Amino acid sequence: MRPDQFRATLSFTFALQGAISLAAFVIAGEASREAVLVALLGLPLVAVGQWLGELIRPRVQGKRFERLVYALLGLSAVSVSWSGLFG
């Protein structure tokens, strides 16, 4: 998958997943007012991330992009494993 397609797919997936999760927590009464406020306040950071992604996109193409994706997936796996093992 080309980097621009990959990024668009991830952006859409995370936005949809986040919106559905937030709605489910609110409906179930599991989201505090503070949690919803933090989620809403984080939205401008999403825009900043998209903007930064546009700036660095020309520098991260082909194999470099692929290596970056694998490195970030590896870091994510380590983080999740650490949290699962050590709380």
63-74 tens-digit pLDDT: 888 898 899 999
pLDDT attached to residue 12:
92
How much is the pTM? 0.60
Q: Please give the average per-residue pLDDT across 55-83, as a whole number.
A: 90
Is residue 53 a contact partner of residue 7, using CB atoms and an 8 Å limit?
yes
**Is-contact 82 19, C-beta < 8 A?**
no
Residue 86's pLDDT is what?
A: 92
Q: How confident is the model at residue 61, as a pLDDT?
A: 82
DSSP state of 42: T
Instruction: Give residue-wise pLDDT tens across range 1-53.
Output: 787 788 889 889 988 998 899 889 989 999 888 988 888 899 899 889 889 98
